Structure 1
Amino acid sequence: MQKGTYSLEDILSNLKIKTLNDMQEASVAANRQHSDVILLSATGSGKTLAFLLPVLERLDPANKKTQAMIVAPSRELALQIEKVFKLMGTGYKITATYGGHLRETEENNLVQPPAVIVGTPGRICDHIRRGNITTDTIETLVLDEFDKSLELGFQEEVSFIISSLPGVTKRILTSATEAVDIPDFVNLDNPQKLNFLPEDGTPQARLAYQQVLSPENDKVETLFRLICHLGNRSTIVFCNHREAVERTSTMLSEKGILNEFYHGAMEQRERDSALCKFRNGTVNVLVTTDLAARGLDIPNIRYIVHFHLPHTEDSWTHRNGRTARMEASGTAIVILAPDEKLMPYITETVDTIQLPEKAVLPEKPKWTTLFISAGKKDKVNKIDIVGFLTKKGMLKKEDVGLIEVKDFFSFVAIVKSKASNTLHIIKDERIKNKKVKIDVAK
């Protein structure tokens, strides 16, 4: 695969991947031979690259208009796709559009049409209606996690998007489940279906299953004791409702468990902050709704705890797909109240955990997260932030952890024991001659 200034070897090198897996190779081959392809593959198997490579092969460097559109069901998934595409280092421009992001920023990014647009259905519709996207030049359409995008509530938007793209000659649909009928408005023409899902529909054996029996219907005390038992390992706790997420998070905090919560009603900056703290190790516990069951690329999640039983088998599969990704192992744990039973679709061996009588709080994380009121639009990057903290803040490089730079702000993990002194030293300093607000991230 050679086109313009990149090669497959360059792309894999940029992504720190040695070779494509079987599913990715099959996708590239099928997309060369068929106009429409449906790709079914387990969460965490590398579907993003499996459709980005075929998209890339169809891009014409001489065409300065938008040539491909990728529709994703969540902003996190859209951002993940944008990140992978940028890391591929092809020289083509990609722009992500999603709710909660300043529309004016996106409009500025669309003035010079990107080769690829990735976004959530509602925001893409908004830009199409405002005339911000040159729709007639788009020839490739990807519906990622199409089962989620086509659920009730997204149908109308996806239908409008497809009807607005008269020039589409190629469609790629991906999913981690087969449990959905594809509506006629998608206009698939004799699609080639690639099914790389496990034959029995269950994740790979490296995912272990356990249960904890709660003596009471209110399972918070059992959850607290379970987290103490698991120690300070990366853990996602799934609840079924936003209210339960906040209540559970608050009660864990009151018992001394540092955690963040995450759900769809939060402001974008709050969501970014919560995910960043979980990613960088400021907290090891994330309490969330099924919003976090898809699209979040957070490596090394060790435990998935089902505080509430999932409503559907799909939800069970996607929640568990956050752990045991690629070559890592993980454990899915169900907490059962006295009147609850395991779901009938769980056919795997489920071991019962006996929790110790005495709960000992896990060791506190060594990192804390700073918020910096400057980002990409202020021409601030990770190197600037490291330089600022080591020179002005007197930190060593090993005192600085994960850095995430957004459009208008940034997050950076630093060793917690040095945070107070660092904040005191840098309070009147400037980054790139710009006065910025720096504080512990809320």
Structure 2
Amino acid sequence: MDKILDTLGIELNPMQEASSEAILHSDKDVVVLSPTGTGKTYAYLIPLACLMDKSKEEVQAIVLVPGRELAKQSAQVVTDMKCGIRAMALYGGRPTMDEHRILRETKPQILFATPGRLNDHLDKGNFGTESVQWLVIDEFDKCLEMGFQNEMEQVVGKLPTVRHRILLSATEAESIPKFVRLQKSERIDYRSSEGGNRNRIRFFQLKSESKDKLESLSNLLLYLGEKSSIVFLNYRDAVVRTATYLQEKGFGVSLFHGGLEQKEREAALYRFANGSANILVSTNLGARGLDIPDVDSIIHYHLPESKDEYVHRVGRTARWDKEGNSYFILGPEEQIPEYVEQETESFSLPESLPEIKQPTMATLYIGKGKNDKISKGDIVGYLCKKGGLASSDIGKIDVMPRFTYVAVSRTKILQVLKLTKGEKIKGLNTVVEEIR
């Protein structure tokens, strides 16, 4: 375990220590309840990696998650741990056949999957289940809330060899369904502890004279400047309307909701995570499973419709030991919801506001990825040699199976597009485009 912690450069917090102790040294199933942003993914993955047999090529652990973003991010955490465990994410929006081919090639030992897609693979016999000992349900309350109960029950019924179950959430479901088949369980509840992020968040309320709060939102974002902010709304069409308004004003915006195609959702998140857009306008889909560490402010354009929504929205800021802010924009007839226990300060914008500044980075799409034996080093070399960049002009690089997203200095974007046109990477023709 110490080697993994050194690789990640972290120390376990009290919740993670308690979870690790229970998973490593108890025969009981484990239920972990802890605020969003406290590191529940590490809390179960680090001890699980220590228990798994690296010499076996079969799947030994399955993690059920409510959405593809959490599946992908969790699989990436295993890669970042460099612990010798192979991981893979399974989710809808791409052909099951393609995933089956990758399963055969990579022989993952841990799978992160949405319930429907996992059932598809299990029904087709695309991997063996005889060695599956651990079943983890991450954000189990959200899985139930999203109507996955029947699909999860089917999954559990197809995994007869499971011996250990781990359930994690920031909020508690009304009851844990019997089909989960919890044995005697150890409950680790840190929801009310000082380890939560709300002690590191300041809460503000901003009054809008108009029911249409777009001008108030725009002025607040001007005040916040280049800092990273997520604006939450309750409806997809409102997300589109708000994002369009801000884009036309000149803000650096990504929009995110469940109606987007998978590639559009991925591009929106990458632009926000790598600093190419400092504002993410999102439905409550963005309140779960997004591990973006440096979100400065959460803005409630629409009030959360429930306490759980509120908890998970606020959990996007002040992750780990960071600090953050939460702003409620209140229309003429709106008030802070009763379930908000924190004291909120009245906030007034100054008369003089700064001009809009575009983010310092932009995102490039390069049409080659891991399947083409392309590494981050190859990307850096290509952009420096062919695109005329210095290494300091290059930011976050995400190499996917078939393509790559890379953040580059916004002032150099036209130069890169011009110089790389028609140029090959490792002898391969490729497409290089800006993601807007």
What are the within-5 Å matches in structure 2 for residues 196-215 of structure 1?
196-198=190-192, 203-215=197-209
1:152 CA drift (Å): 4.6
The equivalent residue for 1:293 is 287
1:71/1:144 contact within 8 Å kept = yes
Q: 2:362 aligns with which of 337, 361, 368?
A: 368
The equivalent residue for 2:419 is 425
Structure 1 residue ranges without an equivalent (≥5): 1-7
Number of matched pairs: 434
1:250 CA drift (Å): 0.3
- Flag the 1:62–1:252 CA change in 2: closer, same or farther, 3 A: closer
Quote the Cα distance in structure 1 between the aligned partners of 2:353 and 2:47: 52
Given the alignment of the two structures, is residue 36 of structure 1 paired with residue 39 of structure 2, yes or no? no
SS of residue in 1 equivalent to 2:368: coil
Quote the Cα distance in structure 2 between the aligned partners of 1:25 and 1:201: 12
SS of residue in 2 equivalent to 1:331: strand
The equivalent residue for 1:4 is none
Given the alignment of the two structures, is residue 20 of structure 1 paired with residue 45 of structure 2, yes or no? no
Quote the Cα distance in structure 1 between the aligned partners of 2:359 and 2:103: 41
1:201 CA drift (Å): 11
1:347 CA drift (Å): 2.3
Q: 2:350 aligns with which of 346, 353, 356?
A: 356
1:335 CA drift (Å): 0.6
> Pairwise CA RMSD of aligned residues?
1.6
1:203 CA drift (Å): 4.2
Quote the Cα distance in structure 1 between the aligned partners of 2:242 and 2:161: 49
The equivalent residue for 1:194 is 188
SS of residue in 2 equivalent to 1:343: coil
Given the alignment of the two structures, is residue 281 of structure 1 paired with residue 275 of structure 2, yes or no? yes
1:387-418 CA-partner distances (Å, limit 9, x unpaired): 00111111111111111111111111111112
1:257/1:361 contact within 8 Å kept = no
Q: 2:40 aligns with which of 42, 47, 63?
A: 47
The equivalent residue for 1:172 is 166
The equivalent residue for 2:108 is 114
Quote the Cα distance in structure 1 between the aligned partners of 2:55 and 2:411: 53
What are the within-5 Å matches in structure 2 for residues 27-176 of structure 1?
27-31=19-23, 32-111=25-104, 113-176=107-170
State the identity %. Answer: 42
1:218-246 CA-partner distances (Å, limit 9, x unpaired): 11111111111111110000010111111
Quote the Cα distance in structure 2 between the aligned partners of 1:25 and 1:165: 28
Please tell me the residue identity of whatever aligns with 1:22. Answer: P
1:350-386 CA-partner distances (Å, limit 9, x unpaired): 1111123454433221211111111111111111010
1:179 CA drift (Å): 4.1
Task: Give the TM-score normalised by structure 2.
Answer: 0.96
1:39/1:194 contact within 8 Å kept = yes
SS of residue in 2 equivalent to 1:418: helix
Please tell me the residue identity of whatever aligns with 1:88. Answer: M
Quote the Cα distance in structure 1 between the aligned partners of 2:57 and 2:360: 48
SS of residue in 1 equivalent to 2:85: coil
2:54/2:84 contact within 8 Å kept = no
SS of residue in 2 equivalent to 1:332: strand
The equivalent residue for 1:439 is 433
1:136 CA drift (Å): 3.1
- Flag the 1:200–1:87 CA change in 2: closer, same or farther, 3 A: closer
Quote the Cα distance in structure 1 between the aligned partners of 2:308 and 2:60: 33
Quote the Cα distance in structure 1 between the aligned partners of 2:168 and 2:226: 35
Quote the Cα distance in structure 2 between the aligned partners of 1:224 and 1:166: 54
The equivalent residue for 2:341 is 347
Q: 1:228 aligns with which of 219, 222, 231?
A: 222
What are the within-5 Å matches in structure 2 for residues 350-429 of structure 1?
350-429=344-423
Which sits farther off after the overlay, 47-56 or 365-374?
A: 47-56
Quote the Cα distance in structure 2 between the aligned partners of 1:61 and 1:399: 38
Task: Give the TM-score normalised by structure 1.
Answer: 0.95
SS of residue in 1 equivalent to 2:145: coil
Quote the Cα distance in structure 1 between the aligned partners of 2:227 and 2:374: 32
Given the alignment of the two structures, is residue 272 of structure 1 paired with residue 269 of structure 2, yes or no? no
SS of residue in 2 equivalent to 1:435: coil
Quote the Cα distance in structure 2 between the aligned partners of 1:433 and 1:262: 35
**What stretches of structure 1 move > 6 A for 4+ residues in a row?**
none
1:182-221 CA-partner distances (Å, limit 9, x unpaired): 1111111121111111259974311110011111111111
